[in-house]
Amino acid sequence: MKKIINTVGVVFIIFAIILNLVGCSDSGLKTTTTSASGPITIYTNTTPGTPWAWGSNVSGVLGNGATADTNVPVQVSNLTGVISVAAGQNSTMALKSDGTAWAWGNNGLGELGNGTTASINVPVQVSNLTGITAIAVGQTHAMALKSDGTVWAWGDNTYGELGDSSNNQSTTPVQVTGLTGVTAISAGGGFSLALKSDGTVWSWGNNTFGELGLGTTVSGNTPAHITGDLGTGFPKIIAITAGAAHSLALASDGTIWVWGYNDDGQFGNGTETDSHTPIQVTGLTGVVAVAAGNSYSLIVKSDGTVWAFGYDQFGEMGNGSHGGVSTMGSTSVESPVQVTGLTGVKAVAAGIGCFALKSDGTIWAWGYNLRGELGDGTTIEKDTPVQVSGIAGAVAVAAGTASLAVIAPSK
């Protein structure tokens, strides 16, 4: 029986960054490591632009000063110089090139980090934070990574997802306890992940389905080192992604490791069995990018193709199946399948809908589209990729769960 969980799956946001010149989307910082299957390049955008959004506009999550849905991109108000974006359940955040963070949307639990609980449909600055290098938004909490390698968090703290040794909600950033040397962060459904420069992964927060990868189902409010199958001899981790209740880690050898909730086959290992410790997705190598969604996963291989596994009720697999080919009687796909017609992809984003950023700067979308989440001018679900309208020169993409956004150059 499918477990129903109340996690990151209510509102969906997508972001990307667009350059002044179409087709120049490889600009930015590239970090390359060598694996047995070839080089793996991790892209980090450094080219500033302006954010655009589309889809559901609950709580003003599109950031355009309105609350009406839209099925085509609209510009986020009063925001330029953006190099990164992140999206959660009903709130979104942008990182500017000056190291400040700006947020908008729902703020009932302090998700915007501005010292209030009032929602707002235009960007406001996150309080008391500068020198930020990365951002992440989960279900109802958010995080920021500073240039000194420390991590800061705010919003809901029911499960200890802020990592400050308490379970107290905070409307302003608090420092995550005991973490230094961090290079990447990711926020999921009430839990958080951090990747350190030594390739180790740390977790805290909700652990109902083993989301923390620690071999238990006990939640925690301080960071813990994920060991188990990620222990001695495990390849160095170079990228992490937290979904609603499962996580993926990309190793330097191009292999993928997963843990947490797996009732829809989002592990891609041919089963629907949860795991409280990381396990390798066999048969998957040469992976260069990963994204964990609500109950499915996306990966990019070194040849620029996209592969998907997990929940397929709305066409999330992108291969025309629209309903899954599960051998277990569910609308799920438990092993990786190739997304139709996509090549030259360098990044993916996963939420209720699915998104791929191609090296030519276009963004392609498929899956759920009830409120225009795919940005193609319709509200019709798509089980194969369609191009997002009016977006060219994109250099980054991020997804939440029901609204969408993109970053484009100022006009």
Q: Which residue, 146, 199, 214, 218, is CA-closest to 175?
A: 146
CATH number at residue 63: 2.130.10.30
Residue 273 located in a structural domain: yes
Name the DSSP class of 2.
P
Report the number of distinct structural domains present in the chain: 1
Q: Are 373 and 13 in contact (CB under 8 A)?
A: no
Q: How many CA atoms lie within 13 A of 372 on its CB side?
A: 20
The CB density around residue 302, as the number of other CB atoms within 10 Å, is 17
Q: What is the pLDDT of residue 333?
A: 93
Residue 150 located in a structural domain: yes
Name the DSSP class of 131.
S
Q: What is the pLDDT of residue 36?
A: 40
Residue 9 located in a structural domain: no
Encoded tokens for 25:
């989307």
- Distance CA(290)–CA(209), nearest Å, equals 21
Tell me which residue range forms the domain holding 296: 14-408
Q: What is the pLDDT of residue 22?
A: 23
Q: What is the pLDDT of residue 344?
A: 97
- Distance CA(183)–CA(180), nearest Å, equals 9
Q: What is the pLDDT of residue 351?
A: 80
Q: What is the pLDDT of residue 24?
A: 26
Name the DSSP class of 295.
S
Q: What is the pLDDT of residue 251?
A: 93
Residue ranges of the chain whose pLDDT lies below 50: 1-39, 41, 326-329, 410-411
Residue 340 located in a structural domain: yes
Encoded tokens for 213:
């990868």
pLDDT for 230-246, tens place per residue? 555 567 899 999 999 99
Q: What is the pLDDT of residue 34?
A: 38
- Distance CA(401)–CA(173), nearest Å, equals 23
Encoded tokens for 315:
């066409």
Q: Are 178 and 170 in contact (CB under 8 A)?
A: no
Q: Are 219 and 208 in contact (CB under 8 A)?
A: yes
Residue 383 located in a structural domain: yes
pTM (predicted TM-score): 0.90
Q: Are 135 and 101 in contact (CB under 8 A)?
A: yes
Q: What is the pLDDT of residue 17?
A: 39
- Which three-class secondary structure state does DSSP give residue 58? helix
Residue 1 located in a structural domain: no
Residue 5 located in a structural domain: no
Q: What is the pLDDT of residue 175?
A: 98
What is the residue whose two structure tokens read 């949860």?
A: 274
Residue 6 located in a structural domain: no
